[in-house]
Structure 1
């Protein structure tokens, strides 16, 4: 970018405006057009490239340039590296072709942030990861690094702005799938927060109910109250598909709990009607239910131990067992009486 006095500046000088004001206006206009390239050029044409000695060039080291500029060498080197990256892409000339004090045509300001990283944290392993993630999302790394260095500001934005909170939620979900430690931390946070525990329980119940409807609609299978798995009749499956389509059409933020409950209750009612309408199924359902209850009762009784009967004895225990014995005897007699005769 060749520096020249613009017509507006000449006019300002003629009208008696002080030279420093006109110079500031000129510098501001140059920066507005080129952004950080204007300062990067000053570094690129004045700082020695690596491998060159002081005898080979009139340029100075980054440390000397920083002392003259009244800033840190690290800041100077960030501009230096930005120019170097741009030169590798043939966007600007390489350092060796630049002469101190000489101006050149500079790229547009919008391109500057593609090459410049304003924070030293970008050089760290953490900064590199953030930079790569930002590039993958199609945003400037400087923005992501700024957010990462100011978590308090991020917290404030999440608390104040629903859209920011939504973006944070999506990002956290993407992260948690690949981070077992974060999964454990979130699980502990939920377990220790009553409101979150209730919300999770509600959503889990809704998800289970939707899963019940989906099983019927997509796999064509029903599960009876007694636990039988059967092929769903065509009409019942069609009704499940209708309810499932309504659930799938809900917006992401819409509460699915009420819809899931309605679909679940409807399908459960239809399953019961299907079983009751078929005599053979009805008998099989009762048989399955009886076996299930008998198995549970047997398991409970087998878990009882009487090694320490002296310590736990109470008259009521004996009475309950005697009542149970009579009930079992009656059940056995009823079943024997119903057995087919030889």
Structure 2
């Protein structure tokens, strides 16, 4: 059988340069059938094939006696593919039917044609990867949809970690994306946080880099405290209001640091800002007589408390064992300490207002 097409209907099936007016020419039926099936697929995508499954494969739980349809296994054998692949189309149709996009299986008869949804809707229900049906697959699919990408792409990457590793090792852009994703994941995954911390602690190069970053972060935090809160912490540990000039200088350095790109190292800038601001803090303390005296008092008290705590740990509970640990140097050091304490006490008593 052949079909004769009007010239205006065959333009799309041939090259314009080859078209000969005005004679009509017969088109083989096989080409017509292919063109029509192609048109159906172009408009509906995978729905065209899902319909073949939906109207030919009997729903689960339905016996062969109650339906003219066949099992997914039998349909796959007839199609020359696996039952698993057939079931992926079946499940996509099932989900769409639950959403009211297509009819339920029970109302479809073998060979029946219906109006199908648009092709772009198909990808919302179908995945060509079997892992999508697992709990892990559902999680990957949901994450992919949240990122606005096709779930099949994410599932393919997840199923080929070696390829992912190769891309990370070879491409800085992929490595950066992986780093960002891991950081986002660790915010909600304490176990991953622990594993990453352990891995870093066991790697000398990474451990050193983390220490350097922590140092830079602490220094930036010191400058930021002054710039944003207007307070300085003196060397002796006092917290006082920052002079206007000091605060302005801290703000200037902080603005330079905040303008750095992610690719730029902040360590050197942080060090410069910290040393500059720290020097200004020392000068501010020195130029304020009252603050300078309070700083000396605070520093002395801090040292006295530390010394007292350390000496209190030298208890005499184990005096019976002194025979085993005795050294002449121990007595000499304690004698020197006693003399230093007596000198210090004497000086403090002379400075007392009551004297």
**Same fold by TM (over 0.5)?**
yes
Aligned to 1:237: 247
Distance 2:331 2:26 in 1: 115
Deviations 1:263-306 (A, max 9, x none): 11111111111111111111111111111111111111111244
**Residue in 2 that maps onto 1:325:** 338
Distance 1:60 1:155, change over 3 A: same
Residue equivalent to 1:313? 326
Task: Tell me whether 193-202 or 120-129 shows the greater mean CA deviation.
Answer: 120-129
Q: Which residue of 2 aligns with 1:120?
A: 130
Distance 1:76 1:183, change over 3 A: same
Contact 1:223 1:229 in 2 (8 A): yes
Could you tell which deviates more after superposition, 132-141 or 184-193? 132-141
TM-superposed CA distance for 1:225, in Å, is 0.6
Matched, 1:150 2:132: no
Q: Give matches, 1:135-214, under 5 Å.
A: 135-214=145-224
SS at match of 1:304: coil
Whole-Å separation in 2 of the counterparts to 1:20 and 1:289: 97
Structure 1 counterpart of 2:229: 219
In structure 1, stretches of 5+ residues that fail to align are none
Partner Cα distance (1:126, 1:114) in 2: 18
Superposition deviation, residue 168 in structure 1: 1.1
Q: Given the superposition, is the C-alpha separation of residues 9 and 100 from structure 1 closer, same or farther in structure 2, using an over 3 Å criterion?
A: farther
* Structure 1 residue corresponding to 2:310, chosen from 281, 295, 300: 300
CA root-mean-square deviation: 3.0
| Deviations 1:65-104 (CA, angstroms, capped at 9, x unpaired) | 1221233222211101212333444544544554434555
1:190 CA displacement: 0.9
Q: Distance in 1 between matches of 2:323 and 2:88?
A: 83
The count of aligned residue pairs is: 337
Residue matched to 2:19: none
Q: Which moved more, 1:200-209 or 1:53-62?
A: 53-62
Q: Cα–Cα, structure 1 residues 20 and 324, in superposed 2: closer, same or farther, change >3 Å?
A: farther
Select which of 275, 278, 298 maps to 1:265: 275
Structure 2 unmatched runs, 5+: 16-23
Distance 1:129 1:198, change over 3 A: same
> Residues of 2 paired with 1:47 and 1:8: CA distance?
38
Greater relative contact order (Cα < 8 A, sep 6+):
1
SS of 1:59's equivalent?
coil
- The CA deviation at 1:61 is 2.2
CA drift of 1:246 comes to: 1.9
